[in-house]
Amino acid sequence: MPDRKNQTELLIIGGGVIGVSIAYHCAKAGIDVVLLEKEQFGTATTSQTARAFRTYFPKKVHDSELAALSLAEFRSFAEKMDTDLALAELGLLTVLTSPEQAAEIEALLPAHREVGVNLELLTADQACEYNPWLDPDTIEAAVWSPDSYRLKPEALVKGYADAAEKLGARLLSGTTVTGLDARTGEVTTTRGDFTADAVVIAAGPWSGEVAKLTGMELPVWGQFAELLHTDPISESDTDTPFTFHPVSGLKTMGMGKSFLVGLERISKQKGMRDIWFKAAVDELPKWYPKLENVELHSAWTGTLDVTPTKSALIGRGEGEHERILFAAGFTGHGLAHAPITGRIIHDLYRGDRPGVDLSPFSVATNLAAKPA
């Protein structure tokens, strides 16, 4: 391939786990790749996670499918990339708290199993065997998904980045994009100008702003998020699985002698932190009565890339934006979806049909879900 210092076939904007996965999968296929990251690789949203991923998203079969399709790559990562992710079994326990909710979730289980998710329906007593801190009187039923894992996000990013560079991709950190012309593929940056046959917007919370540079609307924005941890609640490690209450969005996970706590409530409103924190404080003892007087403290605060549907935007622009591909808005689930997203963008660039229905991840679907 000719040496084209400031020219490339595919230019990727964003060096989080999604961007480096795309770089790796495309470079592996012999595509000339340049990746631009304004900070350091994986230091924005990728590093701001619970360091875990799951394959089951109760009401979103399409999200479960992406995660299930990514699982094999996680399991073979250490061997293929020579990078240890410290992959450790965690498991996901989804707690259902009313007959109506249980019926709704149970009705979707066959569809999730069909896309490759391993699931088992549990009674309240069985759920408490997995997480003895729960109150069985509040549980109608539960769903157990063993395919949820802890891992090192920084190792995942480094593994993809190193492998992409070995395959010839050029990964440039400390480079801010200042202009983007979809018609010509010209990208202006603080490191000079580049020209690409196609440009991938994978800039996390900033993807909407990058798209605006070329007059394209990507309905994705940055939203404040926070993970909390309790005071120590046990003399030994709690070792509980990832436990999710869809009724409120409460998420917990054993972390040493404490619980890691999250609340899956997303709002575009500013100044919501105090309200959100109080909601988490109020929600925890509803389902964990033994934790009623336990203090909560901030584990980290950060920004998630969010869309109206709370599912990612993955696809290709149309008309004058045909050169633009995009993969953003993963709402904290980028780790679970990164491997398959890299392969999907490769297929879209090549003009091949991805083996996944992308309509739930389209701009049109997300624009339709925007509040009027």
b/e map of 329-343 (b: 16 or more CB within 10 Å)? bbbbbbbbbbbbbbb
114: pLDDT confidence band, cut at 50, 70 and 90? Answer: very high
**Mean pLDDT, to the nearest integer, of 191-217?**
96
> What is the pLDDT at residue 144?
98
> What is the pLDDT at residue 44?
53
CA distance 138 to 279: 18
Is the per-residue pLDDT at 371 higher than 90? no
> What is the pLDDT at residue 123?
98
> What is the pLDDT at residue 43?
53
Indicate the angle between helix axes 153-166 and 61-81, nearest 10 degrees. Answer: 60
> What is the pLDDT at residue 42?
53
Tokens 């996965």, located at residue: 21
In tens, the pLDDT along 34-93 reads 999 998 775 555 445 568 899 999 999 999 999 999 999 999 999 999 999 999 999 999
In tens, the pLDDT along 352-368 reads 999 999 999 999 999 99
**Mean pLDDT, to the nearest integer, of 243-248?**
93
**Mean pLDDT, to the nearest integer, of 177-182?**
96
In tens, the pLDDT along 270-326 reads 666 777 788 888 899 999 999 999 999 887 777 889 999 999 999 999 999 999 999
CA distance 50 to 299: 10
Tokens 């436990």, located at residue: 243
3: pLDDT confidence band, cut at 50, 70 and 90? Answer: very low
Q: Indicate the pTM of the whole model.
A: 0.93
Distance of CA 218 to the CA centre of its chain: 17
> What is the pLDDT at residue 267?
54
**Mean pLDDT, to the nearest integer, of 23-44?**
88
2: pLDDT confidence band, cut at 50, 70 and 90? Answer: very low
226: pLDDT confidence band, cut at 50, 70 and 90? Answer: confident
Q: Say if residue 7 is exposed, middle or buried (CB neighbours under 10 Å; 0-12, 13-18, 19+).
A: middle
> What is the pLDDT at residue 50?
65
- Tell me the percentage of the chain whose pLDDT exceeds 70: 94
**Mean pLDDT, to the nearest integer, of 8-12?**
98
> What is the pLDDT at residue 224?
78
370: pLDDT confidence band, cut at 50, 70 and 90? Answer: confident
